Amino acid sequence: MIQKSSLSLLFFICLLAGAKAQSFNHDLYAVFFTDKEENPYSVLRPWEYLSPAALERRAIGGVEIDERDLPLNPQYVQAVCAEGVDYWLASKWLNSLAIYVEDTSKLAAIRELTFVREIMPLGKKRRLEEAKWHKHFKPEEYNKTEHPLGYSLNQIAMLGGHLLHGLNIKGQGRKVAIFDGGFLNVYRMPAFDSLFANNQIWGTHDFVQGDEFVYEQSTHGTNVLSCMAANLPYLIQGTGPKANYYLFKTEDVGGEFRIEEFNWAAAAERADSLGIEIINSSLGYTSFNDKSMSYEYKDMDGKTALCSQAADVAVEKGILVINSAGNEGNGPWKYIGAPADAQNVLSIGAVRPNGKKAGFSSFGPTADGRIKPNVVAQGRSTKVAGLNGYSVSSTDGTSFSSPVLAGMAASLWSAFPEKNNWEIRHAIEWAGQQAEADTAIGFGIPNLFTAYLSLSETALLLTEEGILQLRERPLQAKNGLRLAIGQPGTVFELRYYNSLGQLLAEQTLEVGEEQLLRFELPEQLPANGLYHLEVDIADYRFYETLGCLQDKP
């Protein structure tokens, strides 16, 4: 289900309660196979079924090709369809085929096939609707703020994103997939003009209805995309506005059934085949309209739910999967849902604009005792692009803290394309405000610029607003110090001291037009060692420990 705000939760619970007595005539079923034996595909020939982009991402992450990468055994698929049912979707990771069945009596013969392990009802097939395109909104003037990030400033600056964006690190070259229930109006909203002008929408697919048109039915995905990709200077800015996006409709907004989890798995496999690096999923599954499908809290162990199983495989294949923790913190369920419970998923809770936990944000731990959520971002009063022209709206939910963080992760990763998903995830968690994670906010609010510094050779950040510091460990510098300067023309002084407080060297530098400056460490410094660095800039004096690792003979 789409993660709903706490205000609509009570109505949703009542709706499910009223569904207890209903009987459901399902026509979509999952057929799970026992194995992939006698498969014509081989792990020794991955180029036959994996794209070059998928192979490249595996190479960067050191991911081995295994049996889960193999497509379903085509003989098994043919034998099932020969019983008079229609192929709908496939999941190689779940080793399962989703079929459309008008006459459910045909399932009996399928159950007798020796390679069939289990058959599970999934829900109802949704009929294909005619795609409807509307005219683009007419340009108009809008009320600009004083800051280029507009009304998004707080949710971006909370994560240190304004510092990354100040260095033009905005997600360039990263491929991001968004799983949601629809992206109504996206193609005609001014906030997304640059996405289309710069060809940043790289693909779409509707797994619910089986076509490519996703700009329909729900504004939830529109708001999620807005958190990541909106680009109207001085009005609203996403956290990853220069990334490339794939929009996948996996959520059936007309009802809650397990077919949505199967859609999730199929979409994740599509993302894998396209070489996508990041998945944002503002979705969660606990209860369904058909109560026989519903989970209990004990099932939130990261292994039971279909989407959680698929999410873990996606991460193992090199994708950074980011999922909203859920909005049940004030409700009877209280805890996270699936796939946020998956071990390898980066699960995102919500905080208010002041950084305090939002009451609706779901708690951990998982049923098997693991800490969730992992980190948090602004999910209360999150700013999104208004649907009508040049406007901004506020909305609540971990559905929006998740993409705020996901876009920022895309920006961080764009600075280090050689890194893998685990390295990016660990850098984000390490940069959290809390050294020890808890079951309310995980590691807390991460500072993505701190994560950037931890992944790079950068030692300090000097800005007009002050100086951001790394914590808990010495900075590392190699072959020189790199400083990000907020204002050209700034003059600052550096003084290097040894552990006895003796002055070893000093430098005076003036910043030119470049805001990112490299310079050599003084020759007077010994090749290796720890030094105390004193920096004077304007009215600031700053001290830091510097781990010097110069390449000197």
Catalytic residues: 180, 220, 399
- The pairing of strands 236-237 and 231-232 is antiparallel
Nearest to 77 by CA among 109, 49, 115: 115
Query: Which residues have CB under 8 Å from 31's CB, separation 6+?
Result: 80, 96, 97, 98, 99, 110, 116, 118, 119
Copy the structure tokens of residue 305: 């739910």
Q: Alpha-carbon distance 373 to 103, whole Å?
A: 43
Q: Where are the alpha helices (DSSP H) in 34-139?
A: 52-61, 74-81, 107-111
Sole residue written with tokens 């070489």: 275
Contact 374, 405 (CB under 8 A): no
Rounded CA-CA distance 366/451 in Å is 26
Rounded distance between C-alpha atoms, residue 421 and residue 484, angstroms: 25
Separation CA 90–CA 425 (nearest Å) = 29
Task: Tell me the C-alpha distance between 408 and 320, whole Å.
Answer: 12
Residue holding tokens 């992992």?
374
Contact 188, 137 (CB under 8 A): yes
- Taking alpha carbons only, the member of 457, 546, 458 closest to residue 496 is 546
* CB 86 within 8 Å of CB 258: no
Q: Is the dihedral of CA 397, 339, 335, 158 positive or negative?
A: negative
Within 431-549, where are the H helices?
A: 448-455
DSSP three-state, residue 491: strand
Please tell me the distance from the alpha carbon of residue 141 to that of residue 194, in angstroms, as a whole number: 17
